[in-house]
Amino acid sequence: MRRHSALWIAALAGDLLLASSSRAQTPAPPDHTATYLADSLRLSGRPWHAAETLLAAARRDPNPNAFLIVEGAKAEVQAKRYEHARALLAGQPWLLDYLDGEALAVLAQAEFGVGRFAEAAVHFQMARARAPAARVPLLAVRAGLAFDAAGQADSAAAAFAAARAGGGLASIDTWLRVRQARVTRDTAAASQLVADVPPPAARDVPVARARSLLLAGDTTRAIEAFAKAGKGLDAARLALATGDSARARTLLYSLLTRDPLSDDAAAGVGLALGPLPPRAPDEHVAMARALNRRSSVRDARIHVEHALRAGDSSAATLFLYGELLVSSGLLRDAVRAYVAAARDSAARPLAIYRRARVLVRLGDSTAIPALSGFSYSYPADSAAPGALYILADMQDGRDDWAQASRWYTELIARYPSDQRASLARFRLAAHAESVGHPDSAAVLYQSEIDAAGPQRTAARFWLGKMAAARGDSEKARATWLALAHEDSLGYYGMRARRETSLPPLAFSAPVVTTTPPPQVSAGLARIDTLLLAGLDSEAQVEVRVVLARPPTELDALLAWSEGLGLRGFGSAGVRLGWQAALLAPGDTRVLRAIFPWPNRAAVEAEAQEFGVDALLLAALVRQESVFDVEALSPAGARGLAQLLPSTASLMARGLDVTFYPEWITVPDLNLHLGAAHLAELLRRFGRMDAAIAAYNAGPTPVRRWLDRAGATDPDRFIELIPYPETRGYVRSLLRNRELYRALYP
C-alpha cells in the first residue's frame, strides 16, 4: 500500500474519482497561502516539500484549522511519514464529520503504514460508511487488506465481497476474487471463487487455496499447498507450529539453499537463529549464504567454519569461505582457502585465479607468476584475458612501464577481440602520446577500429584529436564530421560535434498524441484502480505482463511507455521505449520514451535550489534509476538518485533535514539529497567529469585519478578511468545531458 499513496491521496481530493457534491460538514478552507503552495508542490511531484510547508504553517498557527490539519496529514502520508500523519489526526473532535470520511481514510492509511492494522481496518470501514458511492468499493478493498493484515479473516472476506458487489471494480474483479478466496474458511467456496480465474491473477491462486486450507484447519494439506506454491517459509512456519520440526527444517533449509537472497530467506533467517538452528554442514552453508551481504560477514563466516570442521571440503564451500575471508580482510586465510579449493580439478582454474587476485591485493611478489602462470596454463579460460590485464595494470600502477607494456601487448596479441584488449590499446596509445610517439598511438587507435573493438568510436575521436594536435585541421575536421554523423546519439559523436562547432543537437517537435489507444487506456486504468485500492503487488504483476507481451503497434508502445513512467514505473516505460525504437528509431517520441522526464518540475526545482544544472540532474536520475522511484541497486542504493542510506543520512544532517531510512524513496526527498550530494561534489572537484565520477565511484579513487599525468585534459581523464563501470557511467551521463537538452528545450 505504500508505493503509490500519491494516487490514493489524489483520489481523496477528487482528482481521479468523482467526489460527492455534498459538502455539508466541510469546514471552510482558511485563506492560507501555505495550503495552496503545498497543493502546487504535490501536483509537481514534491510531496516531502508539501509536507514540510504545511508542517511549518501548522507551527505558526496556534489554532490550526481542520482543513490545514487534514491537508498536512495527506502530505505526510504521501511523504511516507505515517506516524506524523497519525499524530495530526488521531483524537481530533471533528474527525468523524470531516468531508465525507476523508480524514478518516487518511488516518486509516497512516495507521496501516505504521502497522496498526486493526485500527486502520475500523477507520477504513468508518470512512466507507460516509464516502460518496464512487469511493466506497475502494475503501472496502482497503478495509479488507487491513483486516487480513490484522488476522481477522472473516471480516476481510466480508470486506472484499462488499468491494465486489455492484461491479464498481469490475476491471480488477479477478484479483479481488483471489483476495477474497485467501481469507475464506469454506474451502469449497474458495475453490469456486478461483475456479476460472485467468492469468495474470491465476498466479496467486495456489497461495489463496493454501490460505483457505489453513483457515479451515486442514494444516496437513495447507503445508503441502504452501510448499507447492513456492512458499517454503510459510510451509516451514506452519509445520513448526504443528510440531513437525523435521519437516519444518527441510522446508526452511531448502528455501535458504534455493534462493538465499530472497525476502523469504531473509525472514527465514529468524527461524534459523531461533527454533531451527543449523546442524548439518549443508545447513550451515545455506545459512551462511543467506547471511552473506545481509548481516554480518563474520556471522556468515562462522557458519561456513562450522561446515568445514564437520567435514565439508567441497570446492563450492571453500569458494564461499574465500569470499567471506576477503570481505573480512583476512587475505592470507583466503589464499589458503583457494589453495584448498584447487584440489578439486574441476574448480582448479577458478581457484588459482581467485588466489592470484588476492595475492595482488596483498602486494605479494608471487602475484605476478601466479597470474601469468594461470594465463598460460588455462589460455581458453574466460578469465585469462583478465589475468593479463591485471598484471599490466598492476605494473602500470607501480610505474614499471616496461613490464606494463609487455603485458598489455601480450593481451592484445593473444586476445585481440576481448574488451580488455581494447582497454590495453588505449593505455598503450595514451602512453605513446605522452612520451612523444604519436605515430605509435595512431597505429593503436587504428587497430581498435580495424578490430571493430568496443571503443572504436573513441579511437576515431582520438585520431581526430591527434590530427588537430599536429596541425592537420582539415583531417581532424573530416574525421570528426564523419563521427558526428555516424554516431550522432553517442558520447563521442557529440564530442565530435562540439569540436567541429556544429550547432547543438536538435530534434523535430514530437507529434503529440492526446488519446491513447483504447486497449492501453483500459490497461492503465486497471493499474490505476489496483494502486488506488492498495493492491500494489498486483499492479506490479500487470506491468510485468505488459513487458512480457508488449504491443506491436508504435502508438500503443509509446502510450504504455509514457503512462507507466508517469505512474512511477520508469524502468518499465524505458524498456517499452526500446521496443518502440525497433519500429521507429529516429522518431522523437521514441527518444523521449527512452530518455523520459516524468517529474521534470521536481527535478528542476531541486536543481535550482542547489545551483546544479537541471539537465545534469535529469541525466543522472535517468542513468541511476531510470526514474523508478523504488529502484534498488545490488549495493543497497535506493530511489531516484540511488543514494546509499549512509550517504542520504549524511547529507540530511548537513542540511539539517529530519531523515529516517524508510523515507529514502520519497521522490523529492531523494532528489533533494541527491542534488545536494551532486552539488557538494561539484564544489569539491571544481569540474563536472570528476564530480560525476565521484558520484559513482566515491571521492577517494577520483582524487587519485586526478593526480595522473594528463588528467587536466577532460577527454584523457575520462579515457583513463580504470573502473570500466565508472568510465561508462561518466560518458553516459554527459551524453544523456546533451540528449535532454535537445529533447526538452
DSSP notation for 352-380: HHHHHHHHHHHT-TTHHHHHHHHHHH-TT
Identical fold, 519-594 and 600-743:
no
pLDDT at 294: 58
Contact 596, 574 (CB under 8 A): yes
Domain locations in the chain as residue ranges:
5-168, 519-594, 600-743
pLDDT at 333: 98
Number of other residues whose CB lies within 10 A of the CB of residue 339: 14
Summarised one tens digit per residue, pLDDT across range 57-69 is: 777 777 778 888 8
Tell me the three cell numbers of residue 671: 532528489
Annotated catalytic residue, options 448, 624, 630, 719 = 624
For residue 458, which of 472, 448, 469, 450 has the smallest C-alpha distance? 448
| Domain 5-168 CATH superfamily | Tetratricopeptide repeat domain (1.25.40.10)
pTM of the entire predicted model: 0.86
Summarised one tens digit per residue, pLDDT across range 145-199 is: 999 999 999 999 999 999 999 899 999 999 999 999 999 999 999 999 999 999 9
Looking at domain 519-594, does it have CATH number 1.25.40? yes
How remote is the C-alpha of 270 from its chain's centroid?
26
Q: Which residues of the chain have pLDDT under 70?
A: 1-32, 293-295, 513-514
Contact 317, 285 (CB under 8 A): yes
CA distances from 174 to 186, 371, 446, 541 (A): 19, 59, 61, 13
Tell me the three cell numbers of residue 457: 568510436
- Is residue 624 among the annotated active site residues? yes
Contact 579, 590 (CB under 8 A): no
Please name the residue that has the C-alpha cell 500503443. 556
Tell me the three cell numbers of residue 641: 538518485
pLDDT at 295: 58
Cβ neighbours of residue 7 closer than 8 Å, sequence gap 6 or more: 16, 528, 531, 532, 567
pLDDT at 552: 95
CA distances from 486 to 82, 482, 503, 594, 715 (A): 53, 6, 16, 20, 20
pLDDT at 5: 52
DSSP notation for 499-510: HTTPPPP--PPP
pLDDT at 199: 95
Amino acid at 452: A
CATH of domain 600-743: 1.10.530.10
